[in-house]
Amino acid sequence: MANTAEQIIDIDTFTGPVFRPGDTGYDAEIAGFQAAYTHRPALVVGAVHAEDVRSAVEYAARNGLPVAVQATGHGLSVAADGGVLISTRRMTDIRIDPQTRTARVGAGVRAGALVEAAAQYGLAPLNGSSPSVGVVGYSLGGGLGLLARQFGYAAEHVHVIEIVTADGRVRTVTPGDELFGAVLGSGGNFGVVTALELELVPVASVYGGQLVFDTPLVEHALEVWKDWTATLPEELTSTVTVMTFPPIPQIPEPLRGRYVASIRIAYNGSGEDGERLVAPLRAVGDRLKDDLRVMPYTESHTIHSDPDHPHAYAATNALLGELTGETLSALLAATGPESPIEAVVDIRHLGGALRRGGSARIAVDNRDAEYIVRVITMPGPDAGDAAPEDHAVVRAALAPWTVGHSLNFLYGAGAAADEAQTRGGYAPDTYARLTALKAKYDPRNMFRFNRNIKPAN
């Protein structure tokens, strides 16, 4: 059917470009940040506005084709072969209302662009660590931001969703609408979101940066950080990352080839209070790097210094009810320098506003988790590689303390498309609510590449 449909498509229906395999520009259009694999759709629609998206969804529905969406390609968890790919990277409109402290963003807006636009008014979005992540995709997954302990999940600060559903309708949904709470936290399962209106917060600067400790201090730094997190105000959100830096020229000489612990700090408070709060961490010992400072929020991406170039990666995660000395020992045994698993281990402190939740009934569960452990591996030339086996080892090591997992941090061939993993990311009543709404709004399961939420029977 796809071949017949391709022959009868009316290109003039679309304002943006349309690509088929073999066309000039096809490969560039499907390329994203995730380099381990790419979508290989039968048709790519480069949408420039909601009407392009609506036409693409109508075309897919008419021809019985599945639909995938890509803005930046950061969250690509499973490649979509065949069907229709809607590329939203051209939908980059940003409108800031400083009076209501809100922003309306198109589906292709990246976090860095929104940070810069909001900063002109002394405001900030509840963005994550990377400036190249798409705002919409990040928010639909929940959105665990730099200041998450103070403000909660970014999804809880969304006011309006503009979405094209499987019936080809452009809908505007708000809190109280059953579709609103289903879309936020479930990824792209209920349609193609073309725009969001979201709340901004009055944050112009933060105290933050990194403290990096060399190999002999890694275990001690982890223990001190673990105990230290129990003493913190909600205005401080922190992460500790343990990894061996590759011995390549792109890595600064002091870090190149070293196994280190890097503690990242984001504090919405004064520099004086920030210095007082981090004193126990500095007491761990000498640092390879210590760049803690008050910075304009436009520089907040330097706190994590995430890679800004496309690369291959896979990841699993575990939400933990507690972090103990035994937990850390099990984690280091599974992923440390003596382990055959080469990984970046990232532990984020949760709690605070993340535990309480907002008034909107968004699909983000496991609120009792105190920490999340993310383990990121780099697949080889074969995208499957050893990632599933390595990830299973890590999950087994953390099982005694695990209360769930985050679907937004599952990366890898088929990871988020696995029905058991998807089901395990939600409380049973949330999953039942989502499958019932899926049956109502997408009974043919047209949208199925970001989460494997199937329509209820």
Bridge partners of 405?
A: none
HSE, side-chain direction, 13 A CA sphere, residue 334: 24
Sequence-ordered list of residues with C-beta below 8 angstroms from that of 457, at least 6 positions apart, any chain? 439
Q: What is the reported pLDDT for 453?
A: 86
- Please tell me the predicted confidence (pLDDT) of residue 322: 97
Q: Rounded mean pLDDT of the chain?
A: 91
Write b or e for each residue in 310-342: b if 16 or more Cβ atoms lie within 10 A of its Cβ, otherwise e. Answer: bebbbbbbbbbeebeeebbebbbebbbeeeebe
Cβ proximity of 163 and 50 under 8 Å? no
Question: Looking at per-residue confidence, does 384 or 368 come out higher?
Answer: 368
Task: Please report the pLDDT score of residue 90 as a whole number.
Answer: 98
Per residue in 399-432, pLDDT (tens digit) is 999 999 998 898 875 555 567 788 889 999 999 9
| pLDDT of residue 278 exceeding 60 | yes
Tokens representing 53 are 């998206």
Question: Hey, what are 286's tokens?
Answer: 């000498």
| % pLDDT > 70, the chain | 93
What's the pTM?
0.94
Share of the chain above pLDDT 90, in %: 75
Nearest to 295 by CA among 209, 233, 224, 416: 209
At 14-45, the pLDDT tens digits run 999 999 999 999 999 999 998 887 888 999 99
Q: What is the Cα–Cα distance from 172 to 170, expressed in whole angstroms?
A: 7
Residue 78: pLDDT band (50, 70, 90) is low
- What pLDDT does residue 77 have? 58
Q: d(Cα 417, Cα 409) in Å, to the nearest integer?
A: 13
pLDDT at 2 over 60: no
- The Cα–Cα gap between 215 and 232 comes to 26
Q: What is the mean pLDDT of residues 172-197?
A: 94
